[in-house]
Each structure stands twice: as structure tokens, then as C-alpha cells.
Amino acid sequence: MKKRLSVFFSLLLVLSMFLAACSKEKAGETGTKTEGGKKETDVPQEMRVNVNSEPFSLNPGLASDATSGGVLNQTFEGLTRIDKSGKPQPAMAETITPSEDLKTYTFKLRDAQWTNGDPVTAQDFVYAWKWALDPKNESQYAYQLYYIKGAQAANDPEVGGSLDEVGVKAIDDKTLEVTLENPTPYFLELTAFYTYFPVNHKVAEKNPKWYTEAGADYVSNGPFKMTEWSHQDKIVIEKNDTYWDKDTVKLTKVEMYMINDPNTELSMFDNGELDWAGSPFGTLPTDAIGQLKDSGDLTIKPIAGTYWYKFQTEKPPLNNKNIRKALSYAINRKAIVENITQGGQIPAMAAVPPSMIKENEKGYFQDNDVEKAKEFLKKGMEELGYKDVKDIPAISLSYNTSEAHQKIAQAIQDMWKKELGVEVTLDNAEWAVYIDKLHKGDYMVGRMGWLGDFNDPINFLELFREKDGGNNNTFWENAEFKKLLQDSAAESDAAKRLDMLKKAEEIFIDEMPVAPIYFYTNVWVSKENLKDVVVSGLGDVQLKWAHFE
């Protein structure tokens, strides 16, 4: 009898251990084994990246650059979030109900919290959007909200519209109603963009500078929270335990260094001090790209973005379109992408990437068309009264600190001197100083790029709709171009709308307020066991699903 009981209890013990192990695996307490024999939970879930420079602003209503967006996409969340497949999914909104005419959206918010424990409410969205639209706050990205009824009028001091008439309303704490000017097929993509993020209105009203330092007042609602911000040095974000979907988040900490030297960045990666080197976080040294490509370590991903040179069109001689066209036509883009960037970039003879307008693989003009460039230069000189090319004032070409930007600027400086005889001086500044100069118009030719915020050509063209528009530091405006954009917003036929946008781009390229250089790719190297870092076709990055195996 005792022997039978002993066997029985032994079997019972084995069974209980088996069940316990199973229950732990289901609860996520035990991970699968890696090649080195370690369990996934034994691998530190801490990621280290380099973001090159200090973010311009970590207030969603003021951010206007990829560096700031790269932090905000981890620490905040909008009504929707773009998923791994590139589609918008409910995020802060639990349910989304559009009206039959697609002009009114009702968002029911889920039970979500800010990092200080406050509930995320519809009033937080109303506050954030109206704050960005208030002209006195000088939000560069306010125009992203113009799809909302009354938003553009409220943002334009000359029109004098009222913020009270903007079509966003908190029905109650958990219900947000948004009314649009026109049906907008990509509106749920827009609500995933950082200008549409909420802001804790209680904190912001109490401390208007809440967003300038890490601390108790820097509250956010995304997968991560900011715990350290050593300006010009490092940002640290950690898993947000108040996030509604916290069980999906595997990384416990992400350290974001601000080292503006691609050689140092790659060296740190090689030494195991970084888990990722290159875009979209940082930058790889151009001299190393060929070797990394040959070794098979390099990842190259085309993205919807354009690298271009902006012209300050109010400064002579750049106030003349033929001078601008001469400078643009004289650039050898093929030489730049083959000899400098080397990351599979495509020479750009159009503003909108080919992923949005297929014909733009070829573009509107011929690359490195020196003969045409000389014709435009001669015509422009006649119009401005210059008798000799030496009469043209020296052109200042500005760029922010970066090895690649410097090499491209030096190459174009040589091209303009060799092909056109135009004198060019180079002007370099750190990012925060540089972007401020561009916003103020304190430049002549300035390096800049644009990565799509959503997958539609309007996103690249609407930058230049208004002379005083948030990101239009060319100060160029064209009535026919503007009307085509306005009419396209009300056009329900997709083919006719696309034709309008193509005509608008044709005007834009003929006027040449920017010289497109190439269409972007993201290039990077990363640790083999780092998985599910989601880099979208628009070039932004999300760490919500990232983990180390």
C-alpha cells in the first residue's frame, strides 16, 4: 500500500511540476532558449541607440523634425497608432465611428492613464490641438490640423478665426467628436502623427514649460516614459507601467545618445556600446557603407522621403526662378548617390517620392543638364541686370553638422563653381541653431529633407501652400499651385485628384523653390538578436514591439 501511494505521490509531484512550468510559460515568466542556451527573459531588454543631436522640441505641438519625432513616437500615443504592417489601428481610441459622409468622426477613448496616473481624456486632445493652432504658440506643424473644420482660419491671424469654432469637441471625458472640412481618406493615419498627440491639459496649464525637462511634469501616455534628459548628451526612456498595452512592451529601457559623429557611432556599435547604428536613429559614416554592404551586415530600406536644398526665395539672386533652376540643373545627383551617400538612394528630379507618384522615378528634368543650366543662368542674369557671372553675389550654402551633409555641400559647391562659375561659401551649424536659422529665413541655400508623415503626395506639396506656412522657409507662394491643392481637397474622384496634384508639382518644379537631390533610403546595422524594431515605409521608427531574443 505504501509503495503504491509513494508511486502515486511521485507521479503527482511530476505532474504538478509540469503544470507549474506550463503556467509560467503562459504567463511569460519563462522564455525560449537562444543559441547560447540563455532564456529570453535572461537577456537584458535594454537598448542603446544614437540620435545624433538634441531634439528640437519634445512638445508634440512644437516638434517638427525626425529626431524629436523619434522620441515622441515612443513616449506618446495618439488616437491611432500605425501597426507593423503600416496600417492605422485604434490606440487611445478604443472605437472609431465615422459618419456616412466621412466628415465627422466619433472616438470613444479607452481607459488609459498618463504617467502621473491622471486619466487620458477627450479634453486632453482638444487642448493639445487648439494649443498647436493658436498663432501665438508658433507651431510649425499647425497646418497638419487644417483638415479639421475651422482649423486653418483659427491659425491665421489675418483671417481672425476663433479657436472656439474649430471642429473638435469633448462630448464627455471619454468621447471626442471631430468634424472635418472635407472627407479625408488618410485621416486615421494623421491621428497617429505627433501633432495629433494629446497633452495632459492639467499639467500644461499649471506649467507652460512642462516639456523642457525630464521630471514630474513631463507626463506622457505612450509605451515608454522619459526618465532622464541630459541636454546635448543623452535621453533615457523606460517602459511605462501605466500604458494600457504594457504587456506588449518588452524593452525595459532605451538610452538615446547625442553623438554627432558617425565614425564614433559605428565604433561604439562595433565595441558593443550600441545595439543599432545608422538611420532612422543616427547616421553611418559614408566611407564605411560600401564595406558594410559587401559584408552583408547592412540593411537598406527605401522610404518615402526627399533630400533637397531649399532656396530662400526672397534673397537675391535666389528671388529669380531662372537662377534657382540653373543651380538645380547643374547638380550631378548620380555622382552624389554613387560616390558619397552609397546607400541605394535614387537621384531625384521631382519633389514627391516615386512610392507616391510612380512617374517621379524619371522626374521633370534631366540630371546634370549643364547646357540647360547655363541657359537658365544667362536668362536669370539678364532679368536681374547682372552683366557678368562675377556680379552675382556669393551664395551661402548652409547645412547642419554631419559628415554626409558636409561632403554633399562641398561637392555641390564644386559643381556650381566649375559648371556655372558661381562662388559659393559653406555655412555649418549644429542642428538646433541650424533649424532656428531656417525657420527665421536667415540663410540663402539650406540643406533639408522631408520624410512623409502619411502616404499621400499632398504631404510633400502642402508644405509650400502658404508663404508663411509652418515649414515653408523658402517663403515661396504661387496662386495657381495653391488653388490646385485647395481644389484637390474637395475632389472625391481619386484619379482626378491625383492629376491635380501632379499639375501642382509641375508648377512647383518649374518655379524651383527647392532643388531635389535624392530620394531617401534608411541604412543601418543592428545586433542580430534585436527583433521587431518597426521602421515604416515613411521612415519613422517604433519600439513598442522591439525585444532582444
How many helices (H) and strands (E) in the chain? 16, 21
Q: Is residue 251 part of a domain?
A: no
- Domain of residue 503, CATH code: 3.10.105.10
Q: Is residue 202 part of a domain?
A: yes
- Cα distance between residue 64 and residue 246, in whole Å: 28
Q: Are 225 and 171 in contact (CB under 8 A)?
A: no
- Mean pLDDT (the chain, rounded): 91
Question: What mean pLDDT do residues 339-364 have?
Answer: 95
| Claim to verify: residue 210 and residue 305 sit in the same structural domain | no
| Claim to verify: residue 365 and residue 489 sit in the same structural domain | yes
Please choose, from the candidates 254, 211, 217, 255, the residue with its C-alpha nearest in 3D space to the C-alpha of residue 233: 255
pTM: 0.81
| Claim to verify: residue 337 and residue 480 sit in the same structural domain | yes
- Cα distance between residue 162 and residue 153, in whole Å: 7
Q: Tell me, what's the pLDDT at 159?
A: 85
Range with the poorest average pLDDT among 12-26, 193-207, 364-378? 12-26
Residue type, 126: V
Q: State percent of the chain over pLDDT 70.
A: 92
Q: Is residue 250 part of a domain?
A: no
List pLDDT tens digits, range 172-212.
999 999 999 999 989 999 999 999 999 999 999 999 999 99
- Domain of residue 139, CATH code: 3.90.76.10
Structural domains in the chain (count): 2
List pLDDT tens digits, range 449-486.
999 888 899 999 999 998 987 689 999 999 999 999 99
Q: How many CB atoms lie within 10 A of CB 103?
A: 17
CB neighbour list of residue 286: distance below 8 Å, 6 or more residues apart: 262, 340, 341, 342, 403, 404, 407
Residue type, 393: P
Is residue 286 predicted with pLDDT exceeding 70?
yes
Give CA 451 to chain center in angstroms.
6
List pLDDT tens digits, range 134-151.
999 999 999 999 999 999
Q: Is residue 82 part of a domain?
A: yes
Looking only at Cα atoms, what is the longest distance across the chain?
A: 116
List pLDDT tens digits, range 213-263.
999 999 999 999 999 999 999 999 999 999 999 999 999 999 999 999 999
Picking from 194, 224, 254, the residue at the C-terminal end of a domain is 224
DSSP assignments along 302-354, one per residue: EEEEEEEEEE-TTSTTTTSHHHHHHHHHT--HHHHIIIII-SS-EE-SSSS-T
List pLDDT tens digits, range 38-61.
555 689 999 999 999 999 999 999
Q: Tell me, what's the pLDDT at 40?
A: 54
| Claim to verify: residue 90 and residue 185 sit in the same structural domain | yes
- Cα distance between residue 459 and residue 489, in whole Å: 12
- Cα distance between residue 9 and residue 49, in whole Å: 53
| Claim to verify: residue 220 and residue 310 sit in the same structural domain | no
Please choose, from the candidates 182, 173, 172, 124, the residue with its C-alpha nearest in 3D space to the C-alpha of residue 151: 182
| Claim to verify: residue 372 and residue 508 sit in the same structural domain | yes
| Claim to verify: residue 413 and residue 511 sit in the same structural domain | yes
Q: Are 68 and 76 in contact (CB under 8 A)?
A: no
DSSP assignments along 212-273, one per residue: SSSSTT----SSEEEEEEETTTEEEEEE-TT-TTGGG----EEEEE----HHHHHHHHHTTS
- Cα distance between residue 289 and residue 283, in whole Å: 11
Q: Is residue 148 part of a domain?
A: yes
Range of the domain at 507: 300-523
List pLDDT tens digits, range 487-546.
998 888 889 999 999 999 999 999 999 999 999 999 999 999 999 999 998 889 999 999
